[in-house]
A and B are shown apart, each in its own frame.
Chain A
């Protein structure tokens, strides 16, 4: 074991996959000399050269579309969309093109590409630089969607996403980049579609994604002091979803909270709740609680931002509610 930051883990997965195969290349805005607006791709230009580490014009449609064409012709492109908010510009290409070519061709084509992007609140970026839009993409058959929360997971899952034969939308979170944790000595691929129990517990399961995994862990510690034992499960891959993994945990604890930074309404958590009530209803001792952002664009002033975005206290409150409803 060694230690890596989430940022280093992303970079390492990209570099390792580029070392492993010439099919892999990366393109995006300001990713070359500057190393990306989040510094993730620093050093890649020096190692792999300008042909495989390509600075692009500000053309979200064309760079995703070019990734699609290259993927259909045997490459494994990684396309970086600088901010998750800007994925809206490339949605046509992602939703109508990348997700559909295999299907519309009756299985003749495959589109092995990764669209990496990052978002997240907590630094007063305002309403156009911090949205969490993963729910938009899990709604589209033909796409895989990944949202890792730890350095080890992001490293292993990014490798698997790059070598997956489908278009994968890969969400990173801005506040997670500096987080440091243990990772395997050499990169170990993690299969897509497998949830991970991050913390074991007996009384309530918190199914959390991205930064809410870490906020749930904080909440779990506080709950522990009250004698409530909390299990934290991270689906890691949102599509395909490891339903069995989530159900298994809920069957054990009989209570559940779902938590994400995205707006609660129509969020990814709504789907998780629906799956659990369909398939684990008899095991539930209390209504499932949802934690997410309030239904508002993200305001600039820190006080307003903090009010809208869920923190550890929101998760703790939800945990207490499920336990109170025994």
Chain B
């Protein structure tokens, strides 16, 4: 068997689709950085540049009816699960056409129709709800899974430990996806966790099935997440995915990263998941140019859409408080 014939779980077309999605997220977030610096976007924002393969691979593995909760770094997860770029961008501009109708913003992207139960700005705060959603699925014996995305820093919160314990105890249909980019804001993993370079040890304490994943390899993310989802869906119990990934940019947009050495940044840049996949697929420069053009158009349209969106009335601030 020659190299190019290496057996794959995924067709080349599917991988090309992943590449397109990853590039869309990358260009979308670069545009967000640009528009933020131009002073057009309120609030404060976090991009996941370098972590696109995790979002795309994991979200592609989910099935209709699955739900997930995200974090402050949520643009990628949201786009990868199929929320229209227009709706995400409009949310960042605080418009009513946004996926949270202007009530959420970058750190609170929701799209309940697509199973997005919300991005959370309290580190660790969104994890327990995915145990509860997974519990509801177990109690009703529905073949659905609740997925909690969180970072390495979140594994130091009480909610994380209580949640893993409860999920394993009750065998809830939950998958925990730890995106270990080795940074919690400015704090490196070695300063915040005794097991920062092997987060799967966290799962051991709860006797939970865990899987190590190279988060820069979208195919591997897809495969391992699929395996985890299948396991959880069957009712066998929750799964912990220990995903190694890299944060190529600052913690927030505008972060000068005074705390971070050149070596670490270079390493992250070298592990760019998009470059990697492009090489594997041997995308020609013409194909690449076409892809870039297609993605740029989508992103530019989303900005136009968002700018032309409807501003909420000030009094709308008093709506949606109670059901």
Interface, chain A (partner B; CB < 8 A): 25, 51-52, 54, 56-57, 59, 61-75, 77, 92-93, 96-97, 101-112, 141-142, 144, 165-166
Contacts and interface: CB of A to CB of B under 8 A. Distances in A.
Interface string B128-161: 1111111111010000001000000000001100
Interface stretch (B7-15, B101-109, B296-304): B101-109
B162 A166 contact: no
Nearest to A95: B122
A48 B18 CA distance: 47
B125 interface: yes
B162 A62 contact: yes
Nearest to A96: B122
B166 A102 contact: no
B118 interface: yes
A75 B169 contact: no
A102 B112 contact: no
Interface of B: 67, 98, 100-104, 108, 110-113, 117-118, 120, 122, 125-137, 139, 146, 158-159, 162-163, 165-166, 169-170, 172, 319-323
B179 to A, nearest CB: 20
A74 B136 CA distance: 8
A73 B165 contact: no
Contacts of A74: 136
Contact of B128 (A52, A62, A103, A106): A62
A165 B323 contact: yes
B159 to A, nearest CB: 5
Given A68-B128, A69-B132, A72-B129, 10 more contacts: A25-B139, A57-B169, A59-B162, A62-B128, A63-B166, A70-B136, A97-B125, A97-B126, A106-B102, A107-B103
B132 A61 contact: no
B130 to A, nearest CB: 6
B232 to A, nearest CB: 14
Contacts of B102: 106
Contact of A61 (B67, B120, B128): B128
A73 B321 contact: no
Contacts, number: 146
A142 B319 CA distance: 11
Nearest to B174: A69
A70 B132 contact: yes
A87 to B, nearest CB: 15
Which are the 3 A-B pairs with shortest beta-carbon distances? A65-B128, A69-B132, A106-B101
A11 B169 CA distance: 27
Contact of A106 (B100, B113, B170): B100
A65 B118 contact: no
A71 B104 contact: no
Given A103-B103, A105-B104, A97 B110 contact: no
Given A70-B133, A102-B321, A65 B159 contact: yes
A96 B100 CA distance: 17
A74 B144 CA distance: 13
15 contacts: A56-B166, A62-B159, A62-B163, A65-B163, A66-B129, A66-B131, A67-B132, A68-B129, A69-B132, A97-B122, A103-B321, A104-B108, A106-B104, A108-B110, A144-B322
